Amino acid sequence: MKLFSGSANPILSQKVADKLGVPLSKAEIVRFENSEIRIHIEEEVKNEDCYVIQPTANPSDTHLMELFFFCDALRRQEAKKVFAIIPYFGYARQDVQHRPGECVSANVIIRFLESIGFYKVYVINLHDEATEGVFSIPFKNIDAFPILAEEIRKYIGTVTTETVAVVSPDHGGVERARKFGDDLFGHTEHSISVVEKKRDLAHIHKSVALDLYGDVKGRTAILVDDMITSGGTLMHAAQLCLDRGATRVLTAVIHHDFGPKAPEQLQASAIEKIFTTDTIALKEEQKFEKLSEVSVAKLISEVVS
Ligand code: R5P
């Protein structure tokens, strides 16, 4: 078995390699002055199972092309099977035509992954589980929420349904929040609260929290989401929870796919703590006090070994 890292999150790749007790395999990634990329595999891979770890986060297109070229280069060297480990699957939110005339980008990327010759794709908490049905090659969606639930349990201490309210910041996340509640409480006998979010499809990164269904009064509210970009969804939902009597707001979010202003605004927001993972590399300027990162390396190493 050979484990390769794209350039998107080498720290995570190294952690996975350490967990597996294998070295990262050698490949040269060249970026030309005109932005084109060249991948050169620098190891013997003939008849080997080869894994490529590459979250396709910002800059998504560059990271996607790198991933595609890795697969092509490995197949040309007669690798037995090539597996894509995509901890964060960029474009996953563009999985339907939200308005007539739009592309369905997630579908296009899946077609590319298949036709280039990946044998199997692993992702972590894909935006919508139903997207799995679009893949016609083996696919595995790894759930990292249990490790976030564990972190939050450690942070809060005692977790009961009387003292904690699990909240979905939009209708689309209800099932996700319910499953997180199962992990957090350790049983399924709990209700969740839901924020009614309205997105302005004509303006990117604009949404409002219109209403909150459920009871958060006197409890710690935990907002559960798959990703943060502008931070608007979580910040508006957090304020609504506090307005409705929550004592404090924590968040459990898998992917920090931050827009440029998000770190500063989240640090200044009403949210007490943001628990997240390292599916996406965190740049130095994106670090802030309220952000707490836990690694998904162990989860990845378990599915690979
Ligand atoms: C939406 O369906 C997603 O689950 C997230 O709630 C959303 O994409 C977060 O984006 P932002 O941080 O820009 O509000």
Residue pointed to by tokens 């294998």 = 22
Distance CA 267, CA 247 (A): 18
Q: Domains plus CATH for the chain?
A: 2-142 (3.40.50.2020), 145-294 (3.40.50.2020)
Task: Give 238-286 pLDDT, tens digit per residue.
Answer: 999 999 999 999 999 999 999 999 999 999 999 999 999 999 999 999 9
Instruction: Report residue 254 as tokens.
Output: 């898998």
Distance CA 90, CA 24 (A): 24
Count Cβ atoms below 10 Å from residue 115 Cβ, excluding itself: 10
Q: In whole angstroms, how large is the CA radius of gyration of the chain?
A: 20
State the pLDDT confidence band at 63, using cuts at 50, 70 and 90: very high
Ligand 1 and 205: CB distance under 6 A: yes
3-state secondary structure of 222: strand
Q: What is the DSSP string of 80-142?
A: SEEEEEESS-TTTT--S-SSTT---HHHHHHHHHHHHT-SEEEEES-S-GGGGGG-SS-EEEE
Q: How far is the CA of 112 from the centre of ligand 1 (A)?
A: 25
Which residues of 187-283 form beta strands (DSSP E)? 193-199, 207-213, 220-228, 248-256, 273-277
Q: How far is the CA of 234 from the centre of ligand 1 (A)?
A: 8
Residue 172 alpha carbon, nearest atom of ligand 1: 2
Ligand 1 and 94: CB distance under 6 A: no
Mean pLDDT of 86-114: 96
The protein residue with its alpha carbon nearest to ligand 1, atom 5, reads: 227
